[in-house]
Amino acid sequence: MQKEDIYKDEFIKKLLSDVELEEPSTDFTKNVMDDVMQDWLENSVSVKKRMPLKRLFILIAIVLLAVVILLGTDVHSIVASWDHPFIQQLNAILIEPIHNLLMVAFNRIVSLPPIVYIIMIAGLSLIVFDNLVKKMLHQS
């Protein structure tokens, strides 16, 4: 099939018969890629990786488990009953202050009014709902 057979209109045939395609220079691709690379170097993009939620939940679970163990077993009194001087010093410097701090924090959390818990649960529910809606909108 010839080039003129494709175009039915005489005006277009005449217009296209006078037009010649230009050949790009031999270093055209190199010049374009150099421009693209220069632009990329000037406007580089940096991506911050967030901690995956799974790792964050595992970290929180480990911390909560340690707190429950320290509060539930009364570790500092068990360690205080040992007669080794290093363990006695470790208990006085590290374990007993942590235990006392956790007990004070636990007692303050337990003594909060119920409205605080309701507000916290409502806020967390809104955050979860917002994330679910965003995921549903991105999938559709």
Q: pLDDT per position in the chain (140 positions), as tens? A: 455 455 567 777 777 777 776 777 788 888 888 888 887 777 766 677 777 888 888 999 998 888 777 777 777 777 778 888 888 888 888 888 888 888 888 889 889 999 999 999 999 999 999 989 988 888 76
pLDDT the model gives residue 43: 75
pLDDT of residue 117: 92
Q: How many CB atoms lie within 10 A of CB 90?
A: 14
Contact 13/7 with Cβ under 8 angstroms? yes
Q: Give the model's pLDDT for residue 1.
A: 45
CA distances from residue 113 to 51, 104, 105, 124, 125 in whole angstroms, order as listed: 33, 16, 15, 18, 19
- Residue 3 has a pLDDT of 53
What's the rounded Cα separation, in Å, for the pair 127 and 130? Answer: 5
Query: Where are the domains positioned within the chain?
Result: 53-113
